[in-house]
Chains A and B, each alone.
Chain A
Amino acid sequence: MRKLFYIFLGGFIGFPFIGVYAQKSIESPSAVYKSIDTLRVSGIVLNAVTKSPLVGAYISYKDFGAGITDSLGHFSIAVPDDRVSLLIKLDGYADRMEPLKGRRNLEILLQSVNMGDYYNELASPIGQTRRLKTTGASENIDTKGNWTDHSTSVDDYLQGRIAGLNAIRRSGTPGMGANLFIRGFNSLYASNQPIIIVDGVYFDNGTYGTPLNNGYYNNPLSYIDIKDIDNITVIKDATSTYGAKGANGAIIITTSRAHEEATSIDAVLSGGTSFRPKEIPVMDAGDFRSYLAEMLQSKGLSDHEISGLSYMNDSLSNPDYYNVHNNTSWQDRVFDNSYMQNAYLKIAGGDNIAKYALTIGYGNNKSPLNNTGQTRYNMRFNADLNLTKRLFATANVSYYRNEQDVRNMGIAPSTNPIFTSLVKAPFFTDHVISSDGIISPQYADHDTLGISNPLAIMNTERGQNNSFRYNGTISFKYLLGKNLALATTVAITSQKIRETFFVPERGIVSDTLMNDVLAYNRSGAQVIKLFNVFNDSRITYNNSFGSIHDLAVVLGFRYNNLKSEQDYGLGFNSATDQLTSVGYGLNTLRQIGGSIGASNWLESYLNVAYGYKDKYFINLNSSLDASSKFGRDVSINSLRIGGRPFAVFPSLGLSWLASSENLLANADWLSLLKFRLSYGVTGNDDIGNYTARNYYTSQNLLGISGLVKGNLGNESLMWESVSKLNAGLDLSLFNNRLSLKADAYHNKTSHMIIYEPGITISGQDYIITNNGAMKTNGAEIDLNALLVDNKKFKWQLGLNVSKYKSVITKLPAGSILTEFADGTIMSRVGGAPNVFYGYKTNGVYASDGQAASEGLSNLNNNGTTTAFKGGDVRFIDLNGDKIIDENDRQVIGNPNPDFFGGINTSITVSNWTLSALATFMTGNDIYNYSRRQEESELNAYNQTEAVKNRWRVDGQVTSMPKATWGDPMGNSRFSDRWIEDGSYLRLKSVSLSYNVPVKSNKAIKSLNIFLTGTNLLTLTNYLGYDPEFSASSSAIGQGVDTFLEPQYKSIEMGVRIGL
């Protein structure tokens, strides 16, 4: 409590430091400019396509003057200066800011298609603003309700839509979402995910505790129904206003509110099919049996031992004959086409006192992985209240419930259904078969080769994730004067995740516990709780001086208190497979554990936005952050208040709307030209709640529990500091029919968190310090064109391409090697932060003679060497010592893409609209751990059909090495054999919708029928189900294919009814 007090105190004391500056900037235009002359500007507003005059368009210049076009499209308006810009608004047309550039008579062509978004309003940290006036790199998506989209979460939805945002979907499991990397990587060990703000409230996007079900990800963003979202703003550059949480950019989400008082009701019903993935060609029973026999021969089994195996005995009198003479397609047993149903209802309306928007959603998305899928229920209620003339309030309540059936994914050899279905011998059966060939309903047990029965995993194993998230927000805004307002927002978020699983004994390979006890059946239960209290209080000041100076100042503070708790229990060996809860497990084997976390974040912030003549804009942001995570002795980049360090994060943005200069008055082709420059410092506070403190952990020694020092507390531990420099250009031509946004940036991370190896005497394996540094350079382009613009036929095409290059610039102790999925991932100074580090190969020795002539040997584990022979892989001897050992490893792949982005298009022909989004990634390497299991030729796993080409005979030229039990020569080691080009181009979504013409006086206001296909086409050379997955949210672990559920194709048909 005392700590809290100090932090609060610090926050308030901190104000004067900025306050002094703030007051200065407020008071600086001491002589208020009064316009003496008013000019009258007149003009005509026309439809850009038909050139017909538009009636009722609203033309305004701030609150200086306004006008409405008459029946001939003419208007006249008073302005203070002929160098300002007019705002033109008309329902059904895109907003437009038109600079006068000295002109007194205008012809304005309004587009019905929203091109380039330059004139849109977007949610910025300081409130709603026109994109035109921003100085940083921010993008905005007006989601228009996403009626036809099938994305299961926002992060998934954002993929391919924002230049510079690399959204990599974690897996095909519904709701898993995507890892969002805005402009590459800024950190090795801390989060690389942006801060999420929903309706002005910090949305905690962290995961607290590992899911019990392997490969699952508790994705908080899935708790927002995509149809509830009105608007998304992505801020890619300096977001100092979010201080210690702003290092990775920000995503600001605005949920649906009532925009008009008339009641509107929208209902969407849709249903569809998800398609099972295309099978990976593994060997059939015959080919596999020959291969297995060869494997067993190389293992040293005698003829009698091999013949004694029941699957090698072809006699019908073999009592096991029918159990071991099948040709089972195991992938068939695991995947099946499945269905989905979604329903959504939105009611909005109100009066001049209160407006509300109520939404209710239901979704049932079965995955093609049998018996798994997601069911969700959600509701949201947003209300806007005008309490008095000066007091306004908004209240938002949302509740989301998720029920999901899952199975272990990723590296879980005994329980991952996909893995087992790929490697299980096809001659086995899924159900027990009697010696007479009669099939029993009983599932077959795991087989003698040590592989579980995938059907038992699918049908008798249980894995469930039930969770809910509740958010309640209330905000008040009080107008102190015409220009001055006080506002506060208070929000609580409560989230609870309840996970359970049960792995039965029958059909599934037993696990061995740490004390060498066999775990026949296994159960587990876990609860993860999260509770956030958030407050944002601020004073805002908005004014225009002399009608050409715009000033907006926000001074405020944010506070967030987080409490998280994780409790789990694991049970083993319950009496029968029918007793599935943890309590039934043997008392002696039960494991319980958990964790508790708490953190406080307090930030005081100041934002000043100044605009001159709607042409020159300056944005100044700064924040002063305190966090319970920071060490107490931090002295760099901080102020000390109340004995605690407060991090200082300043940023400055400039922009110049060159196209509004009079010089370009006659350049009709040029609609807009704007230059942007911003620089700022942001922070990353994802350094662990207690890393800076000394703490103790429990340890069991010979059955006695005690406490041991858990770390070496580092009271100098500070946030990672990321400075960002961004230069941008916005260009729009031919009445906005062609637009271009280009940005180049340089991000520099200093004080980057590093796990340094601890010195032996410390008793710690590693010590967490701020001794790393990294930089990222990059650029991105967003092109948008309205190719065809006719009355009945419109064709819009957009493309965004991004590139980044992250380079580590400082590491305290050489390169960092991380083992992940039997591969090595390396980060070293001068290189990208997460490259694959292994052996390079050059085919397979065709003969013993060829191998002997090259004279390479393999270094064995016991220090001896063995010469390579025919059929072994030709590894590259990097250091020329004729011995292949770990010194011959080199960089063999880089999971970072050369380019990524998206292509979107929309074609409208009368009432038909076809829109499509394709996403792509090029030049990224993938470590195909999955194929490594299917082509290693070292055990009894089934292999892909490529293994039929394995080397067998001296002189055989092939790329597939020989099959040897245990692979003593390391032919399957982590090498470029498993690194593949992960480039892909995917038609992520395509939808066709038809607006059924309805008469406006009928009961139905609007009727829209749509058909949406997701992931229908993927062009890639990647040898796996799908090239897109993200096994971990950190930089390390990207691009590793570990048997996660693949992305699947789906087709959904729906109808939207407006009442």
Chain B
Amino acid sequence: MKKIIVIFLMTVSCILSCKKWDDHIALDSASLGKTIYEQMSENSDLSSFVSYVDKMNLDTLLNSSRNLTVFAPDNEAFANLPDSVKSNDAAIRRFLLNLIALKSYYIRDQTDTSRILMMSGKRVLFANNQFGDADFASSDNVARNGVFHVLKEVVLPLPNIWEFINATKETYKQNAYVASLNYEGQDISQAEIDSIDLETGEPVYKSGTGIVQINTFKQKVCDVGNEDSLFTYIVLTDAAFGQAEATLKPFFKANSEDTAIFNADWYTSKDMVFSGLYDNINSQQTLVSKFGVHYNLNPSTIVSSYKVSNGIVYVVNTAETSLQEKIPVVYIQGENPIGFSSETESALEDIFYRKRYNPITKDTFNDIYVNRGSSGANFYVDYSTNNLLSTTYKVYWVALNDYVVSGQGDDAYGTTANLNQIVQVLNNDSLSTVLFNETGVVEPYTYTETYIGEFVNDAYNWLLSYPDSMPDGSSYLSNPATKIIRLQAPSSNSSPYNLTLDYLKFVPVFN
């Protein structure tokens, strides 16, 4: 009897105390308690979608608590699903995963350019109340594990630029060239660490580990397979590509004809990828490549265009770039030497890397000043460059020769006299081969360019598409096309033998 009373009281108290919470946690609508899959299963307009989801065993995913967004085409839209997709399980799966995102995206999350990452790995534009190109039949259906939107059309996964290039390499020579630039390389994210470099603190990777196939176009120019960014890619028709190749070939004279052609091809295609999406080309539009080369995209030259998942591809019949931009002026910065004739302590002590003010341009600049004085006869500073193509360059320098007195009683340095400096261009393979050798006079306090002489480069014997280093660890930064530039003090009668250089400038000469 007593127990019954107690149990009764306990039950009453439980009922009463539970109720306050029941009111508080009651769901505003029943759908908030149902998963996306459960809600879709109850929706007769989505039976086709659900049947495909079932077929691909994606129901577990759509029931899971991953907080998803699903863009589900309704039954009417499914009528337009191409047979090629319907008949291929892999394609269906790809198609479905391209409609599911692992985050929740509501209509209010749209911006004009929002591209959301789908489970297919691709990003799809979710903007202006559209998903891709499809309109919504209904949107913002909130579920326990996310949200789903119903589409009026099917949205098929698009290829990206890289996939496009590979798919059309038979069609376009340019794509064939780009697709062929495959080398073995070392992926440091997969390589084993051998040791830590004591000086730099950087890891040293074991050679022969983490070897992958790399495409140097993707590596050196632009990773056009990246789905996270948008690119505009221009493909030249074969005729236009051939013409561009012919124009550039003279700048790549080489011992081998193939080397010359491939380098011309590289120089053509490297400036054909542009960051950003440029669609709706109605009038001429100027695009700038990663290397600063402008491309005037003229709608009349566009043969065809393709929408891809990470941008747009145009096929054009005329290459619209200026040769002057393609063949750049080469600068050698004085403050970036690669070596000296003597690296004794006393010599290095006399080398100043300075920051000076140019009263003409009103800019500060960095330069080098070698204050060797009377002991500097024949002292030289070496620079290198890979950028001198096979053409004629006019050589200039800017070199500041000044006399600096310290206010604190330290030794003054510099000179008020003229300096005589020699500029040489040497072949990387044999330093004894002097390709250029001119002497110039540096008058005090000159901030302007001084013409030194004309240099003719007659060969470029290296493939630009080569990777910078090989899996065995050898580096190609220094190669047969590399030129050594030497700034040297005279051997006699010119004391003080000081050297100074802001930069050397090699200006190509076009006929």
Residues of A participating in the B interface, judged by any CB pair closer than 8 Å: 275, 278, 280-281, 285-291, 293-294, 297, 302-303, 306-307, 312, 314, 848, 870, 944-946, 948-949, 952-954, 956-958, 987, 990, 992, 1011, 1013, 1016-1023, 1049, 1051
Contacts and interface: CB of A to CB of B under 8 A. Distances in A.
8 contacts: A278-B17, A285-B65, A290-B67, A312-B66, A952-B106, A953-B140, A1011-B6, A1016-B10
B104 A294 contact: yes
A994 to B, nearest CB: 9
A306 B102 contact: yes
B6 A297 contact: no
A949 B27 contact: yes
A954 B106 contact: yes
A290 B6 contact: no
B28 interface: yes
B60 to A, nearest CB: 8
B108 A1020 contact: no
Given A289-B65, A314-B64, A946 B2 contact: no
Given A286-B145, A952-B147, A1017-B16, A1049 B10 contact: yes
Contacts of B106: 952-954
Given A1016-B6, A1016-B9, A952 B102 contact: no
B2 A1011 contact: yes
A854 to B, nearest CB: 17
Contacts of A848: 108
Contact of B24 (A275, A870, A1023): A1023
Contacts of B101: 303
B104 A1020 contact: no
A286 B65 contact: yes
A307 B27 contact: no
Contacts of A294: 67, 104
A288 to B, nearest CB: 8
A278 B14 contact: yes
B32 interface: yes
Q: Which of A288, A944, A1016 has the most CB of B within 10 A?
A: A1016
Interface in B144-178: 144-147
A952 B67 CA distance: 12
Contact of A948 (B16, B18, B32, B146): B32
Nearest to A307: B102
B20 A954 contact: no
Given A848-B108, A948-B144, A1016-B6, A290 B25 contact: no
A312 B142 CA distance: 20
Interface in B18-35: 18, 20-21, 24-25, 27-28, 32-33
B94 interface: no
B324 interface: no
A986 to B, nearest CB: 10
Nearest to A949: B28
Contacts of B24: 944, 946, 1023
Nearest to A848: B108
Contacts of A948: 25, 27, 32-33, 144
Contacts of B108: 848, 870, 953-954
Contacts of A952: 104, 106, 140, 142, 147
Given A307-B102, A1013-B6, 7 more contacts: A275-B10, A290-B145, A948-B27, A948-B32, A992-B5, A1011-B6, A1016-B9
B145 to A, nearest CB: 5
A293 B68 CA distance: 9
Interface in B192-235: none
Closest 4 CB pairs of A and B: A293-B67, A286-B65, A945-B25, A289-B65
A293 B104 CA distance: 9
B145 A992 contact: no
A1036 B95 CA distance: 63
Contacts of A1049: 10, 13
Contact of A987 (B9, B14, B21, B145): B9
B67 A289 contact: yes
Contacts of B10: 275, 1016, 1049
Interface residues of B, number: 37
Interface in B30-74: 32-33, 64-67
Given A948-B27, A1022-B20, A297 B104 contact: yes
Nearest to B228: A302
A278 B20 CA distance: 12
B239 interface: no
B483 to A, nearest CB: 44
A1018 B66 contact: no
Contacts of B147: 952-953
Q: Is chain A's binding surface mostly helix, strand, loop or mixed?
A: mixed
Contact of A1017 (B12, B67, B104, B140): B12
Nearest to B139: A953
B142 A1023 contact: no
Nearest to A946: B25
A552 to B, nearest CB: 49
A312 B101 CA distance: 14
B20 A1016 contact: no
A1019 B9 CA distance: 12
Contacts of A275: 10
B434 interface: no
Nearest to A1015: B13
A952 B108 CA distance: 9
Given A948-B33, A1017-B13, A293 B142 contact: no
B431 interface: no
B117 A290 contact: no
B107 interface: yes
Contacts of B5: 992
B103 interface: yes
A1023 B146 CA distance: 28
Given A307-B102, A949-B32, A287 B16 contact: no
Contacts of A302: 117
Given A281-B25, A870-B108, A287 B65 contact: yes
B9 A953 contact: no
A946 B23 CA distance: 9
Contacts of A956: 28, 142
Contacts of A314: 64, 66
Interface in B87-129: 101-104, 106-108, 117
Contacts of B2: 992, 1011
A306 B103 contact: yes
A987 B18 CA distance: 17
Contacts of A949: 27-28, 32
Contact of A303 (B9, B16, B103): B103
A956 B10 CA distance: 39
A953 B117 contact: no
B436 to A, nearest CB: 52
Nearest to B32: A948
Nearest to B35: A286
A953 B144 CA distance: 13
A357 B107 CA distance: 80
B13 A1016 contact: yes
A924 to B, nearest CB: 16
Contacts of A1011: 2, 6
Nearest to B109: A297
A918 to B, nearest CB: 12
Contacts of B66: 289-290, 293, 312, 314
Contacts of B67: 289-291, 293-294, 297
A655 B140 CA distance: 76
B99 to A, nearest CB: 15
Contacts of B21: 280-281, 1023
A928 to B, nearest CB: 11
B160 to A, nearest CB: 17
A1018 B144 CA distance: 33
A944 B66 CA distance: 19
Given A286-B145, A293-B67, A1019 B16 contact: yes
Contacts of B33: 948
A927 B18 CA distance: 20
